[in-house]
């Protein structure tokens, strides 16, 4: 460093010139970048203070608005909240009460069904060989009505009212019956499946098979016991108004269509048996001459005699 007055060199660490005695003034090094940095920091501090002030003002505005809205709409919101709570509670109570009432009603109905007697049937469900008349009864008939169905559907007040025996005929019938009291109480159901399988007589049997013959002969007809045989010889189907078979039938020369049906005592008919006989045109024997012994009739040449069923009884 040089003395600013005389220009002499001043050793480092000295604060005056040894030559002329001039005192030195020490000035720190100047750095412009530091001034810029310091200026920016001052600006940031000022901006931050301004931002903090703005934020504080905004928070204050929001707070004031919140209290304003709370004051203006708070009571209304409170009323709505209370109304919602009351509505929910009332609905819950109503549902709970309704469920409880329904449960009690079901229990009472179940107990009532147990108290009401079940209708009784004169014949149990099952398979029968003839049609039946089913009687349905109940000890409290004076206090209500019996309703029934025959197709398996649930009986109710829209169903048939029982007032006479139910006729069950051939086939399968599902009976369901219930007793309903005058005050609407319902008993448990009674019923079941009834199957009627009718017994029909077998078809009549002829002692001679149909075919071509040289001369007339007698035909014996056999059928089930206790059955009546009706027959025709002109090709018409027999019925209960046709001739009754009582003795062997003589087959005359020519074409004969013999048909017969058996009818039992219940009036049920068998299938129709039919044979066609073609007999050559010759004179018929007089007074039954040439009639075959019972059980063995004349047959065409070359064929064995046809024996009647020994277990079957000719219908007289």
Q: Average per-residue pLDDT in the chain? A: 80
Helix or strand run (H / E) with residue 40:
helix 32-115
Look at the domain 205-314 and name its fold. Immunoglobulin-like (2.60.40)
User: Are the C-beta atoms of residues 152 and 174 closer than 8 Å to each other?
Assistant: yes
Pairing of strands 254-264, 273-279: antiparallel
**pLDDT in the model for residue 297:** 43
Backbone angles phi, psi at 252, to 5 degrees: -75, 160
Distance of CA 295 to CAs 160, 194, 208, 298, 313, Å? Answer: 57, 43, 10, 10, 11
Q: What is the mean pLDDT of residues 42-61?
A: 64
Structural element, H or E, at residue 278: strand 273-279
**302-310: Cβ within 8 A, 24+ apart:** 306/207, 306/208, 306/209, 307/207, 308/205, 308/207, 308/220, 308/222, 309/205, 309/222
- pLDDT tens track for 253-276: 999 999 999 999 989 999 999 999
What's phi and psi for 259, nearest 5 deg? -130, 145
Spell out a b/e string for 265-291, using b for 16 or more CB atoms within 10 Å of the CB, else e. eeeebbebbbbebebeeeeeeeeeeee
- Three-class secondary structure of residue 66 per DSSP: helix
Q: How confident is the model at residue 7 (pLDDT cuts 50, 70, 90)?
A: confident
CATH assignment of 120-196?
2.60.40.10
240-258 pLDDT, tens digit per residue, is 999 999 999 999 999 999 9
Q: What's the pLDDT band for 215 if we cut at 50, 70, 90?
A: very high
Q: Which three-class secondary structure state does DSSP give residue 191?
A: strand
Structure tokens at 147: 């309703």
286-309 mean pLDDT? 43
Higher pLDDT, 139 or 95: 139
Q: What percent of the chain stands above pLDDT 70? A: 71
Q: Which residue, among 256, 135, 291, 125, has the nearest Cα to 194 in the 3D structure?
A: 125
pLDDT at 98: 74
The tokens for 297 are 């009739």
Residue 160: CB atoms within 10 A of its CB come to 13
């Amino acid at each position: 460093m040089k003395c600013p007055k005389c220009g002499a060199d001043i050793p480092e660490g000295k604060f005056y010139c040894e030559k002329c005695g001039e005192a030195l003034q020490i000035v720190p090094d100047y750095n412009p970048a530091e001034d810029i940095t310091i200026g920016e920091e001052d600006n940031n501090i000022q901006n931050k203070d301004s931002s903090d002030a703005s934020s504080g003002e905004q928070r204050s505005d929001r707070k004031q608005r919140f209290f304003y809205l709370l004051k203006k709409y708070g009571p209304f919101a409170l009323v709505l909240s209370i109304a919602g709570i009351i509505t929910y509670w009332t609905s819950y109570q109503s549902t709970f009460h309704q469920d409880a009432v329904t449960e009690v009603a079901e229990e009472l109905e179940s107990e009532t069904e147990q108290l009401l007697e079940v209708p009784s049937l004169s014949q149990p469900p099952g398979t029968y060989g003839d049609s039946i008349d089913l009687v349905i009864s109940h000890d409290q008939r004076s206090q209500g009505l019996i309703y029934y169905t025959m197709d398996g559907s649930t009986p109710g007040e829209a169903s048939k009212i029982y007032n006479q025996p139910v006729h069950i005929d051939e086939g399968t019938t599902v009976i369901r019956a219930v007793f309903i009291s005058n005050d609407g109480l319902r008993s448990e159901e009674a019923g079941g499946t009834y199957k009627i399988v009718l017994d029909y007589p077998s078809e009549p049997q002829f002692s001679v098979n149909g075919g071509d013959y040289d001369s007339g002969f007698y035909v014996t007809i056999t059928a089930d016991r206790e059955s009546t045989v009706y027959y025709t010889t002109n090709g018409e189907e027999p019925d209960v108004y046709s001739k009754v078979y009582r003795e062997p039938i003589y087959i005359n020369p020519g074409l004969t269509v013999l048909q017969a049906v058996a009818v039992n005592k219940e009036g049920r008919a068998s299938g129709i048996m039919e044979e066609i006989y073609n007999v050559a045109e010759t004179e018929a024997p007089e007074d039954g001459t040439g009639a075959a012994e019972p059980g063995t009739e004349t047959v065409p040449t070359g064929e064995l005699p046809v024996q009647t069923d020994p277990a079957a009884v000719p219908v007289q």
